[in-house]
A and B are shown apart, each in its own frame.
Chain A
């Protein structure tokens, strides 16, 4: 499972980096999205991968930390997801405004001939 996750994060990051180096604005947005997925998975993985381990202590509270997974990275990821979601929305608005003002979807606002 670790291998799959690591490969997934790697592929997301690599594709994201390639995309944000492209000249079109939509590619830029997609690239940043993919990179933020990779980063979210990465933070999640930093809490170590556990299967069948709840992050919250139930009502029959047993004071045994070993059966619970670390809840903090999950909370961090939630915050990070919300923030990157908002930023992507904003970037899309700016992208459309730039498209309308410059008439091209090149990131510099002008197409090189």
Chain B
């Protein structure tokens, strides 16, 4: 960790910031240059995320602490700003960069032309995501949340139109109010503990008693509410399906990790700070998560069955995924984390691919309305339908486009509903297996959670099959619209990663289990952050 390699942790934040700043200088017409810069940045982000993860694995399996700390400005830990890369952060960074790259390539095909500055907003969103995953204190978590939200407002409104603007307004208003809740929570915690650094907080709250403890817990409860609104838990998650359905597909695909940021923050804070050692109720918040998760699952299952459009189905899949994760975290106090994290990765990628795919599938129905916004920018580009001579052939054999779309659709449906043999099944199996082995007798609430997980999978299958028959099997007079390489590649990439999760389920599961263990190891995190060495050892001299 010497020299330039030590600065690797800060790169996922700085790189998109610099790239997007450069792109602001470019004119809107220089699309090709913007796309090139953006592509290079995304690939570089992916490279950095992979490197960080490899480092984590090497450090972790050689017996050292895999938690690496970067002191910004070289200020010692509780006073300066720290970035922390550990098992969970590396995993989330990699997940975000895969999803970011896929949705960016997809957007190049045509959606980036639906409005100005798509690439800039997309990269800023990546910066916010990466920052939120890396930061080691609550206030910077707030700042990075705001960055990713501000970018997501822009992406949400991308493409404009009455529906997007009205729903975008709801989205902005809800999130501004949520941010205020976040600040109230942070303020209360600071007022009692006098610090916002998570490692420092974890040691300081051990000493709080009496009314101070009550106030601190209220602070955490308000903060938790803000996270749960982001994650889309039942009574506070009604905004989610309709917002995601209104966003343009590449933005919606990237948004599928947005709700997981709430889950990430919850995992981080909940497992690090809420501990039975303090005389807190051992399951402070756990029951809320369990019952909230159950309610969310019920809501998601009903929603997915009632949804009439595919984008709504995908939205309720996000809700189901959140419900499963919240319930699992709440039920086990973090004991079944391996399976839950596997599920998090698999469902995020699956939903991302689904959002990208469903637009291609639905395009047959809405082609005429969409085409008005797509104009050829280059002379050799052809955006119209294929020539008519193909039309006869279409009715005889299954056109390749439909075969690819149908195959991808089926893959997504299996992945989301958790049927074997894909990674969704492995994840759900690991969760259910873990939940059933928690205690010798199964608590009724946990039994209900497991039952709902299985039922929600079935509901997803019913909903996607119904939609698939409607969209893919119905003969259409028009030939299928051409499928562009730039649109097929990202969907393929995401599905390939899911396939990889299935084929390499063993090593992946070991990584997830190890992540779970590291999250339980509170002292390891605290020691790593507070004991981080400064780069320079000479004392700072006072200014004259």
Q: Which residues of A approach B to under 8 Å, CB–CB? A: 20, 25, 28, 32, 35-36, 39, 42-43, 45-48, 70, 72-73, 76, 79-80, 83-84, 86-88, 90-91, 94-95, 97-98, 101-102, 107-109
Taking the closest CB of chain B, its distance from the CB of A92, in whole angstroms, is: 10
A109–B166 contact, CB under 8 A? yes
A46–B150 contact, CB under 8 A? no
B190–A46 contact, CB under 8 A? yes
Q: Which of A46, A84, A86 has the most CB of B within 10 A?
A: A46
Chain B positions within 8 Å of A73 at CB level? 187, 190
Q: Sort A-B residue pairs by CB-CB distance and give the 9 closest, nearest first.
A: A46-B191, A109-B166, A43-B187, A101-B162, A46-B187, A94-B169, A39-B180, A39-B183, A98-B165
Taking the closest CB of chain A, its distance from the CB of B310, in whole angstroms, is: 23
Q: Which residue of B has the minimal Cβ distance to A91?
A: B172
Taking the closest CB of chain B, its distance from the CB of A27, in whole angstroms, is: 11
B187–A20 contact, CB under 8 A? no
Which of B162, B172, B180 touches A94 (beta carbons < 8 Å)? Answer: B172
Chain A positions within 8 Å of B194 at CB level? 70
B172–A87 contact, CB under 8 A? yes
Q: Which of B143, B177, B194 has the most CB of A within 10 A?
A: B177
Q: Which residue of A has the minimal Cβ distance to B167?
A: A109
Chain A positions within 8 Å of B160 at CB level? 97
B176–A84 contact, CB under 8 A? yes
B165–A35 contact, CB under 8 A? no
Chain B positions within 8 Å of A46 at CB level? 187-188, 190-191
Flag whether B184 is at the interface (Cβ < 8 A): yes
CA–CA, A31 and B325, complex, Å: 34
Taking the closest CB of chain A, its distance from the CB of B305, in whole angstroms, is: 25
Taking the closest CB of chain A, its distance from the CB of B238, in whole angstroms, is: 14
Which of B139, B173, B183, B188 touches A28 (beta carbons < 8 Å)? Answer: B173
Taking the closest CB of chain A, its distance from the CB of B467, in whole angstroms, is: 27
Taking the closest CB of chain B, its distance from the CB of A10, in whole angstroms, is: 13
Flag whether B466 is at the interface (Cβ < 8 A): no
Known contacts A43-B183, A46-B190, A83-B179, A101 near B165 by CB under 8 Å:
yes
Known contacts A79-B143, A90-B153, A36 near B169 by CB under 8 Å:
no
CA–CA, A91 and B160, complex, Å: 15
**Please, could you name 6 A-B residue pairs with CB atoms under 8 Å apart, sorted by A?**
A43-B183, A43-B187, A83-B179, A87-B172, A91-B172, A97-B157
Flag whether B534 is at the interface (Cβ < 8 A): no
B165–A72 contact, CB under 8 A? no
Extra pairs beyond A90-B153, A94-B172, A102-B166 (10, CB < 8 Å): A32-B173, A32-B177, A36-B180, A47-B191, A84-B176, A87-B150, A91-B172, A97-B160, A101-B161, A101-B166
CA–CA, A102 and B172, complex, Å: 18
Flag whether B168 is at the interface (Cβ < 8 A): yes
Chain B positions within 8 Å of A98 at CB level? 165-166, 169
Tell me if B's interface is mostly helix, strand, loop or mixed.
helix
Taking the closest CB of chain A, its distance from the CB of B165, in whole angstroms, is: 5
Flag whether B371 is at the interface (Cβ < 8 A): no
Flag whether B146 is at the interface (Cβ < 8 A): yes
CA–CA, A35 and B176, complex, Å: 10
Flag whether B170 is at the interface (Cβ < 8 A): yes
CA–CA, A105 and B347, complex, Å: 38
Known contacts A46-B188, A94-B165, A102-B162, A35 near B143 by CB under 8 Å:
no
A39–B172 contact, CB under 8 A? no
B172–A107 contact, CB under 8 A? no
CA–CA, A36 and B186, complex, Å: 14
Taking the closest CB of chain A, its distance from the CB of B40, in whole angstroms, is: 29
A39–B184 contact, CB under 8 A? yes
B187–A35 contact, CB under 8 A? no
Q: Which residue of B has the minimal Cβ distance to A109?
A: B166
Which of A20, A42, A43, A102 touches B173 (beta carbons < 8 Å)? Answer: A20
Chain B positions within 8 Å of A83 at CB level? 143, 146, 179
Chain A positions within 8 Å of B190 at CB level? 43, 46-47, 72-73, 76
A91–B183 contact, CB under 8 A? no
Chain B positions within 8 Å of A43 at CB level? 183, 186-187, 190
CA–CA, A107 and B173, complex, Å: 10
Taking the closest CB of chain B, its distance from the CB of A8, in whole angstroms, is: 15
CA–CA, A46 and B186, complex, Å: 10
Which of A25, A35, A47, A70 touches B169 (beta carbons < 8 Å)? Answer: A25
B177–A91 contact, CB under 8 A? no
B187–A108 contact, CB under 8 A? no
CA–CA, A92 and B176, complex, Å: 13
Chain A positions within 8 Å of B172 at CB level? 87, 90-91, 94
Chain A positions within 8 Å of B184 at CB level? 39, 42
Q: Which residue of B has the minimal Cβ distance to A32?
A: B176
Which of B143, B150, B161, B177 touches A90 (beta carbons < 8 Å)? Answer: B150
CA–CA, A47 and B194, complex, Å: 8
Chain B positions within 8 Å of A91 at CB level? 169, 172-173, 176
CA–CA, A80 and B146, complex, Å: 10
A87–B162 contact, CB under 8 A? no
CA–CA, A83 and B186, complex, Å: 15
CA–CA, A87 and B170, complex, Å: 13
Taking the closest CB of chain A, its distance from the CB of B226, in whole angstroms, is: 12
